[in-house]
Structure 1
Amino acid sequence: MTQEVELDGLVRERIRGLRLARGWSLDALAARCYLSPSTLSRIETGHRRIALDQLVPIARALGTTLDQLVESVDDDDVVIRPQRDEASGVTTWLLTREGAPHGVTVAKMRIAAPTRPVGRAELGVHPGRDWFTVLSGTARLQLGERTILVEAGDAAEFSTMVPHAVGAHDGPVEILVILDHDGERVHLHPAAHR
């Protein structure tokens, strides 16, 4: 029973928080979800039981899903303790869970030794876009025939349909990457990709 009461309170807080984040009054949200402002007020304050047939239009009006609105909170899901994965001079720490929402993977990578420019045949291509920021050191980004040095504090975003590779320049480099599904498969699981 306690979990139900906690989740009920959390859903009410989310409704109110999302409404206020959009700068909407009770009247504005009520008009968007076809409820009366008094009904919406009683839902937010806990003076009215929340019915499923009310949550669906409220979620839709707030630009979220029913699943996100009623998702329970578990403190175990907050902290990610990444495991090191070392291969070919690159250490990777996954910073998102497997099957993370939104189809993106975030990882920290440390490329230990400076890497030589690679030949065109060694550059990778896959659908999508890659993004990374350099935490320390200097990264060497090869995009087709171009070599671009990306220094600490800078970021790079590029189409991955251009043949590309990222390496270290003049010493180790640490980068934070955001990869879509194809980028994760190619950059973090290269053996499985071949």
Structure 2
Amino acid sequence: MTQDNAQLDAVIRARIRGLRQAKGWSLDALAARCHLSPSTLSRIETGHRRISVDQLVVIARALDSTVDQLVEPVDDADVVIRPRHDMVHGTVWLLSRDGGPHGLTVAKMRITGQTRPKELRVHPGRDWFTVLSGTIRLYLGERIILVAAGQAAQFSTMAPHAFVAHDGPAEVLTILDHEGRQAHLDAVDLTPEPPPSSPELPPSSPESPPPG
């Protein structure tokens, strides 16, 4: 067994023991649910017995888990969540990985843009967010709603909608379904906005010749 396989094997055994203890089950209780003897289960958890695929399947089912979850490798590179910058929201932290629970995406946004959005988006489903700091200006159809820090909003996304910061940067925590993620995160405009044009100045008159 290679070092990587040995490490994963130890992680699997620790997960089985940890899930069992989290449920408050004794070895006898889990053994009865997966039709193994308590001594066999004890040796599996302590590494004194190899785990067969058949045993892993019934243990995972008894723990309300899956084999994929028990054997998922540990990757420390996934621990740190790095922000993503765009011209629409400012800064976005994706707090859930791809394929999150029920297809939902959890994200923290620091929104700096305060101008009215160019267009209001429509997509199936509902959006939800809570304001962590600052104030959000929510455009919802013909209405404009201010949502302050400590408040939350949820609404049907079949209504044309968008939200921006109001009177200074704001931070929100949002939950988006698949369509919401596509509309608000995957379809952002990453191109810099052109700088505002300078007001035209009247043509300067020719200088008078200096007195002779």
Instruction: Please give the TM-score of this superposition, normalised by the length of structure 2.
Output: 0.75
Matches for 1:75-90 after TM superposition, within 5 Å: 75-87=76-88, 90=89
Say which structure is richer in strand: 1
Q: 2:173 aligns with which of 167, 173, 176?
A: 176
- State the Cα distance separating 1:12 from its structure 2 match: 0.7
* Aligned pairs, number: 187
Any unmatched runs of 5+ in structure 1? none
Q: Give the equivalent residue in structure 2 for 1:6.
A: 7
Q: Which amino acid aligns with 1:18?
A: L
- State the Cα distance separating 1:98 from its structure 2 match: 6.7
String of CA shifts for 1:123-182, please: whole Å, max 9, x gaps.
Answer: 433222322221221112344455443222333333333443222223322222221211
- State the Cα distance separating 1:75 from its structure 2 match: 1.2
Deviation larger for 66-75 or 144-153: 144-153
Q: Is the 8 A contact 1:92 1:107 kept in 2?
A: no
Q: Give the equivalent residue in structure 2 for 1:158.
A: 155
Say which structure is richer in helix: 1
Matches for 1:1-194 after TM superposition, within 5 Å: 1-87=2-88, 90-96=89-95, 99-102=98-101, 103-116=103-116, 122-144=119-141, 146-190=143-187
Question: Tell me, what secondary structure is at the counterpart of 1:170?
Answer: coil
String of CA shifts for 1:3-36, please: whole Å, max 9, x gaps.
Answer: 1211111111100111111112222212222222
The 2-side partners of 1:55 and 1:99 are apart by: 25
| Greater C-alpha Rg | 2
Q: Which amino acid aligns with 2:168?
A: G
The 2-side partners of 1:113 and 1:72 are apart by: 40
Q: Is the 8 A contact 2:95 2:108 kept in 1?
A: no
Q: Is the 8 A contact 1:125 1:163 kept in 2?
A: yes
Q: Which amino acid aligns with 1:93?
A: V
- The CA RMSD over aligned residues, in Å, is 2.6
Q: Which 4+ stretches in 1 moved above 6 angstroms? A: none
Q: Is the 8 A contact 1:94 1:105 kept in 2?
A: no
Any unmatched runs of 5+ in structure 2? 190-212
Identity %: 66
Deviation larger for 162-171 or 177-186: 162-171
- State the Cα distance separating 1:73 from its structure 2 match: 0.6
